[in-house]
Each structure stands twice: as structure tokens, then as C-alpha cells.
Amino acid sequence: MKILFEHHHLYYLPQFLPIIYKFNKNGSHDISVSINQNVPVNEKTLFYKECKSLKLNIIRSENEKERKQFIKSEKFDIIIAGNKGYLEAIAANNTCVVLVYHGIGLKKSYYNDISPRVDILAVEAPSRLPSLKGLSIHPIVSGFTKLDALFSDRKINDKETGAIHFEDNYPTFLYAPTFYPSSLEKTIPILAESKLKVNVLIKLHQFSWTKSKYRHHVRLIKSAEQRNINIKLVPESYYNIVPLYPIVDGLISDISSTMFEFLAVNKPIIQTDFYTLRKKHQLFPWLINKRLDFKRLGEVDFTIKANSPIEIERAIKQSLENSGEHDKNRLEAQNKFLYKVDGKASERLIEGILEYLKP
């Protein structure tokens, strides 16, 4: 079968790679990857470099219009995408379109980004199914394919660990905020001045590197690095956050998917319940509320809450003093939000796709 993995952005690649590996292992499929030509040059460069190192067939073109036309003319049997985007422009009439959505956080886009052209939706857990009722789409409950990487033989290499090496052997927290609405602007000043004996590894959303309206995030963190040797920014080239989960002691996040993904390793999660809002959202808060999934937010009972920036240090201390405090809740939430964390989500998805395609 001819299969295309369509990327709107580089950060979709981590959830696709386990599926690609499994397809390659299962049989002789003709697999290609491609990325929107309108993304920033540095993003495309990283994508091409990574896919070349993995020996993947890359479809590229001089411009986006030509790329879409070429893909449609290839008449792929399956197109796997991470966003609804422009599926009608690339999918032939008989192409089976599979949506493996790029995030499982607290934004309503999970439900809104479903095109009528999507045939199959990869669903990370049965708890999602009631919210998908009424959609003319075939759901496959698979688990979250991105987390299959936790069971991979691929480890962080010396070059990568060198970029995130800390001088002090303190407990390390991973801070992974989303790009908007983000807790970053209010959190970084607190962490920069903190005297706690902890290291903080900061993994930014890709948009903080590539979109001008969020690039101040990078400047803010680099300034914090100068003031506190226990703060490190993960380099832009390190696009996959999952291999960091096993090597840290806890997570700090806001409404990012990482809050749910991190359940896979059953370690303390600190949830920041504050953000920096744009002026229009300060004036009209209902606009931002429309973007958030408050029902899902209300089901989060597995975190240590920091309701204001000054509570972050208290939350860190609390998680270190009693790391098992929410252990039972985290394990229950792992089952509820991630279904099965066993390295076989990609396998279940592929089995479901092939079953769907049977005459």
C-alpha cells in the first residue's frame, strides 16, 4: 500500500514515527512523508534532516500548491494526518484519511478539527468516545501512539544529554508550557530567582521558536539561564519531548498535552492554573473560554495545583516531599486518559485501519 504521513508541522512527527516503524515492520509498504512548504525554513530543515536520517521517502516541491497537486496525483491508499487542514486538496477519491490528532490537552480543537474528509479517527482512550457521538467518522481506540516511544530502544545520546547537562545533581523538573494561553511569562521570573535545590529543564512548544509573536518566550528563558545555572532550555532541534519523561523527576505544565502524556511515567505533575492573556481575551474572557475544554479540565484530579506564580515553589516542595501523594489518582487517570501504555498503540491503530479497509 502507498501511505503518506502528512505534516502541518515538525512536531507532528513524534506521534507518526511509531506508526511508520510498525508499518515498515509489518510488510512492504510504500511510505512517504511530507510537510507544508509554508512553514519556516528552520522547521523544514529540521524535518528534512530527521526524515533523511531515518531513510524516509520525502515528498517536497518548489511551492505548496505544486506539493498538494503532486500528492493528490499520487493517489495514496492511506493518508495519515495530524490536523484537518487541507485534506480535500491532497486526498484522492479512494484515499482512506486517518486523523491522528496532534494534541490531547485541554483545547476544544480536538473536536473542532475534524474534516468531513476524515474516514478514521485515532482515539487515545474510550473516555473520548461520548464527545465524538454524532460525527460521521470511524473511531479506533488505540492509546496515544506518541507514547510508544517510551518502549523504544532509542535512547537519548551523549550529544543530546550534553545540551541539557546540569552541574548540580539535584532533582530535575521538566517545565513544558503550551504556547497560548501560557503560564510561561509569569512562571519564568519565579524559577529564575528560586533558591530551591532543583534543576528545571524547559521544553518549549515549537511555535515559541518559529512564530514571531511567541519568540519572546525564548528570550525570556535565555535571560533566566544567565541568572540561574539550574535552568536549561532544551534546544530547538530536540523536537520530541517523550524521551525526556523518564529522565526527570516531575513535570510543571499548564493546559499542554504533556500534562496527560506524562501520566505514562506516573511521576508528580504540577499544574499551573494561571496564564498571560492577550488584551482581547482580557476584555472578552468568553473568547478564550470557547477554546478550552472545561469538562475535561474538571476531570483532572491527579495534579498538584499552583493557582498563582508564588505557589510554584510550594508545589515543587510538596511533590518532592511526597512524590506518591497522587499515585493512585495518576494510575487511574492513566487508564482513563491514555487507555493502555504498553508500546502497542501503533499496532492497535494499524490493525484497526486494515480491518476498516477490508472489502
Mean pLDDT for each consecutive 10-residue tract of the chain (359 residues)?
Answer: 96 96 88 96 95 94 96 98 92 97 79 84 93 88 96 62 75 93 93 96 93 92 95 93 94 92 97 85 79 84 95 97 92 96 97 95
pLDDT at 272: 95
Write the CB contacts of 170 (distance below 8 Å, at least 6 apart in sequence): 197, 198, 199, 230
Find all residues with CB under 8 Å of 9, minimum gap 6, and list them: 35, 36, 39, 43, 82, 102, 206
Residue 157: per-residue pLDDT:
54
pLDDT at 159: 53
For position 343, what pLDDT does the model report? 96
Contact criterion met (CB below 8 Å) for 275 and 254: yes
**pTM (2 decimals)?**
0.93
> How much is the pLDDT for 85?
84
- Rounded CA separation 38/304 (Å): 40
pLDDT at 154: 60
The answer to whether the CB of 204 falls within 8 A of the CB of 221 is yes
Please tell me the predicted confidence (pLDDT) of residue 162: 52
- Please report the domains of the chain, with CATH numbers, ordered by start residue: 2-144+340-357 (3.40.50.2000), 158-338 (3.40.50.2000)
Note whether 84 and 320 are within 8 A (CB).
Answer: no
Quick check: 80 and 140 in contact, CB under 8 A? Answer: no
Rounded distance between C-alpha atoms, residue 142 and residue 335, angstroms: 12
Helix 184-193 vs helix 216-227: crossing angle, to nearest 10:
10
C-alpha of 287 from chain center:
24
Q: How far apart are CA 251 and CA 138, in angstroms?
A: 34
